[in-house]
Amino acid sequence: MLNIVIFGAPGSGKGTQSDKLIEHYGLFHISTGDVLRDHIRRGTALGATAKQYIDAGRLIPDELMIDILADVLDDNREATAAGVIFDGFPRTIAQAGALENMLADRGTALSTVIGLEVAEEELIERILNRGRLTGRSDDTLETARKRLDVYHNQTSPLRNYYKERGLYHAVQGSGGIDAVAERISRHLDAITADA
C-alpha cells in the first residue's frame, strides 16, 4: 500500500505528476482543488462557500477541508484500499495531523511526501500559462501572488514537519514532465523495493 502526498507550491506540477503516478502505480488520486471545483461546477452550497475562498486565493478553513477529505475517503473505501495520492492536501500543520489520524483509523499511514521544488518565477509563469489555457479563475497574476504568499506562510512549514518525520523527499520540479516523473519513480521504486 502506497500513500503519497504530492507537495509543492501552486504551479509546481502536482496535478500533472499525479496523473503520471496514477497511470504507473494504479493509485487513487484525490485532488482537493478538483473536489472543490467540482462542487462549484455542480452549484452546491459547499461550492458557493469554496468559491469565495478560492477566488480570493485563500485556504478553505481547516475543519471544513478535513471533513471534505474524510468524506472522500469514506465514499471510496474500496478504490482507496491499494493506496492514495493526496494532491493539494495537507496545506496546513492542522491538516497534516488530521491526515495522520485518518490514515491511522483506517489501519494505514503515509509512505512518503514528494516535494516538487520549482523556482518562484517559473511558478508564476506556469500558473499564468494554465490560466490562459484553462480559464481557471484563480490563475491570474494577482491571485497567483496571493496564493504564493499563502503557500509560504501556511503551507511551506510542512516541509520541516515532514522532514522531522523522515518522510520528505525533495524532487527538482523543473524540466520536462517526463524527466520529473522519472525522478519521482526512482524514489518510489526504491521505497517499494524496501517495503
Residue of 130, 146, 159, 183 with catalytic role: 130
> Terminus-to-terminus CA distance in the chain, angstroms?
9
Contact call for residue 115 and ligand AMP (CB under 6 A): no
Q: How far is CA 2 from the centre of its chain?
A: 15
Residue of closest CB approach to ligand AMP: 33
* Positions in 7-26 near ligand AMP (CB under 6 A): 10
How far is Cα 47 from Cα 52, in angstroms, rounded to an integer?
A: 9
Long-range contacts of 24-28 (CB under 8 A, 24+ apart): 24/181, 24/185, 25/83, 25/188, 26/82, 27/2, 27/82, 27/83, 27/84, 27/85, 28/76, 28/79, 28/80, 28/82, 28/83, 28/84, 28/85
Contact call for residue 33 and ligand AMP (CB under 6 A): yes
* Positions in 67-96 near ligand AMP (CB under 6 A): 88-89, 91, 95
41 in catalytic set:
no
183 in catalytic set:
no
Contact call for residue 54 and ligand AMP (CB under 6 A): yes
* CA max distance for the chain: 45
Contact call for residue 36 and ligand AMP (CB under 6 A): yes
Contact call for residue 60 and ligand AMP (CB under 6 A): yes
58 in catalytic set:
no
* Positions in 140-169 near ligand AMP (CB under 6 A): 147
Q: Which residues bind ligand AMP (CB under 6 A)?
A: 10, 32-33, 36, 53-54, 57-60, 65, 88-89, 91, 95, 138, 147
Which residues are known to be catalytic? Answer: 14, 91, 130, 136, 147
